[in-house]
Amino acid sequence: MKAKEKDPYIILEELYRLYEQKMYRLAYSVLRDEGQAEDAVQDAFCKIYEMLDKFKDPESVKTKRFIMKIVKNKAIDQYRRNRREYELMEEVKDETDCFAANDGKIRTVIDRELLSQIMNALPDDYKEVIVCRTFYELTVRETADVVGVSEAAVRKRFERAKKMIQNLSGENNNEKMEKYELGFKTGR
């Protein structure tokens, strides 16, 4: 009469109870990351599950060596994937940095062009106040002296100019710019 074979799930539970912590420590020693070590152990158990018929004695030295070899290989595979991903990310980062440098130059040119269009769209008295207050960083009193108007007039012009700039820069379409240019030229 043939000896009764153990249920494969019982064998898997025994293997887990006996080796899970050892497998985790080995995977962690390779990967130095808790989550990835846990994933390597899980992947190893998936591989072990596929080969359950080969494990007759879960406590044998041969079984232990085989299981530890499986988890070690899974951890090394993950380590290699990490290294490839890191190298790929470095390449992408280098390309992105190069693109960002060029993009920054392009953006600067576009910003200067937009600023020029906005400043040209402002009435001269508003433009004068904006230049004094923002570019030369003059106080309201100093700006009033330079422009030759009252401090209240400087504050009001500056406030109106800021609103116009927000409107012009908020909508980057030429129709809005032309509307303001026409309005200023015709005195509306």
Task: State the CATH architecture for 122-186.
Answer: Orthogonal Bundle (1.10)
Query: Is the model's pTM score more than 0.75?
Result: no
Helix (H) or strand (E) run with residue 175 in it: helix 174-186
Q: Where in the chain is the domain with CATH 1.10.1740.10?
A: 8-90
Task: Please list, residue by residue across 22-44, b when 16 or more beta carbons sit within 10 angstroms of its beta carbon and e when fewer do.
Answer: ebbebbbebbeeeebbebbbebb
Pairwise CA distance, residues 142 & 158, whole Å: 13
User: Could you tell me if 37 and 28 are in contact, meaning their C-beta atoms sit under 8 angstroms apart?
Assistant: yes
Residue appearing with tokens 């899970």: 20
In this structure, CATH architecture of domain 8-90: Orthogonal Bundle (1.10)
pLDDT in tens, 158-171: 998 888 888 877 65
pLDDT, tens digit (0-9, with 9 covering 90-100), for 89-133: 777 666 666 555 555 556 666 677 777 788 888 888 888 888 888
